[in-house]
Amino acid sequence: MPSISDFGSDSGSSGGFPSALRGLPRARLDALPLGGLRCLILDAIARAPSPHNTQPWRVRWIGTVLMELGLDERRWLRAADPMKRDAWLAIGCAVRNVQVAVAELGLVLDWEVKGDAVVMDFADDTAGRPLVPVEQVWERRTSRLAYASAPLPVELLTPLGQAAAPLQLITLAGEQCTWLHRLLVAATASQLADAPVHRELYTWLRFTPAQRDRACDGLSYDALAIDRVTALLSRALLHPRAMRFLARTGLHRMLASSASAAARRTPQYQLLWSERRTHDPAGLVLAGTRLQAIWLLLAANGWYCHPASAIIDVQATAEELCTRLRLPAAATPLEILIRQT
């Protein structure tokens, strides 16, 4: 199969909408270069966020432009994400990226979860629905910069709520940020002290250049915005054997607290939640598409953010979150976004 660069991706390592496809009149599906279209779809999937950058995609073409996108279980965080919540959310984020990318070509994507995969079907878009600028698929990043001190402009709240529909998006502010930050520290500490979870997450941290270069996945130290020396120190400190010792002495809580220190200053968190029980792949994929729609919209408006999924991944903190917010019994918290500059 041709590579994306054969179709003039302006990308290099940072990626971009392929230049050969740019500026085409909104074409009919059968008039588009098939190789270019397939490469675009694969690249848009690879640009989606995923937990610890595990890139858990399993793709298979089952027709000319009919694709199956499933979960590669070798990349599933089975200890940290036993219900596959984050994994299916990530797949939903990838589906949204593909929707935005092909919309630029005048195509619409229909998707449906069948068995253990999302089946994606493409057709000419007659409605011409406006989406965020396609560049955001490549420009959005998980930011680990300083946390934003200003609240979101009020005029963004309505479009964000629309992007979340039919799910709910609420802004948590003021006193809520104080206890949310405490939940984040508690959830992080719980993951550090849970040996199988910590061992698994540790394997996805790429603390040395060699590890980083060997695989284009996982969390490299530059993705974490730490320098090489800090990376080497963290590698020793976070090693599962060292962590067993720290957890026995309770010192892991200090680590959790310093890892989340910056979040203490954030004035708002956004919580995406569903009124219905949402644990099945179809519901989670839908939620992932909404999570990514929100994330892309924020990025298009110059706001960076990152999820704080530990609060929801750890049962005790997820329960406290629901209780404090008095969410209905069947409600499912899906993701918490923290905004950064």
Ligand X SMILES: Cc1cc2nc3c(=O)[nH]c(=O)nc-3n(C[C@H](O)[C@H](O)[C@H](O)COP(=O)(O)O)c2cc1C
Q: How far apart are alpha carbons 186 and 176 in whole angstroms?
A: 15
With respect to ligand X, which residue has the nearer C-beta, 119 or 224? Answer: 224
Residue placing its CB nearer to ligand X in the complex, 219 or 297: 219
Residues 6 or more apart from 46 whose CB is under 8 A from it? 55, 57
Shorter beta-carbon distance to ligand X: residue 21 or 219: 219
State whether residue 186 is helix, strand or coil: helix
Chain residue whose CB lies nearest ligand X:
49
DSSP 12: T
Minimum distance between the CB of residue 141 and ligand X, rounded to whole angstroms? 4
Distance CA(119)–CA(278), nearest Å, equals: 20
Nearer to ligand X, 179 or 245 (CB): 179
- Return the number of the residue (29 or 263) whose C-beta is nearest ligand X: 263
What order do you get walking across the sheet with 66-71 strand by strand?
A: 57-63, 66-71, 117-124, 107-114
C-alpha span between 220 and 218 (Å, rounded) = 6
> If you ran DSSP here, which 8-state letter would residue 75 be given?
G
**120 vs 310 by CB, closer to ligand X:** 310
Sequence length of the chain is 341
Which residue number, 103 or 310, has a Cβ lying nearer to ligand X? 310
Who contacts 254 (Cβ-Cβ below 8 Å, separation ≥6)?
A: none
Q: How far is the CB of 88 from ligand X (least distance, A)?
A: 9
Residues that bind ligand X (CB under 6 A): 49-53, 86, 89-90, 93, 141-142, 219, 223, 306-310
Q: CB within 8 A of 124, min separation 6: which ones?
A: 28, 29, 106, 107, 108
3 state DSSP class of 335: strand
Q: Say if CB 272 and CB 290 are below 8 A apart.
A: yes
Q: How far is the CB of 339 from ligand X (least distance, A)?
A: 13
Q: Output the six-digit token pair for 152.
A: 């979101």
Tokens 């041709």, residue located: 2
The residue (of 41 and 89) whose beta carbon lies closer to ligand X is 89
Closest CB 152 distance from ligand X, rounded Å: 19
* C-alpha distance from residue 45 to each of 23, 28, 38, 117, 146 (Å): 22, 22, 11, 14, 28
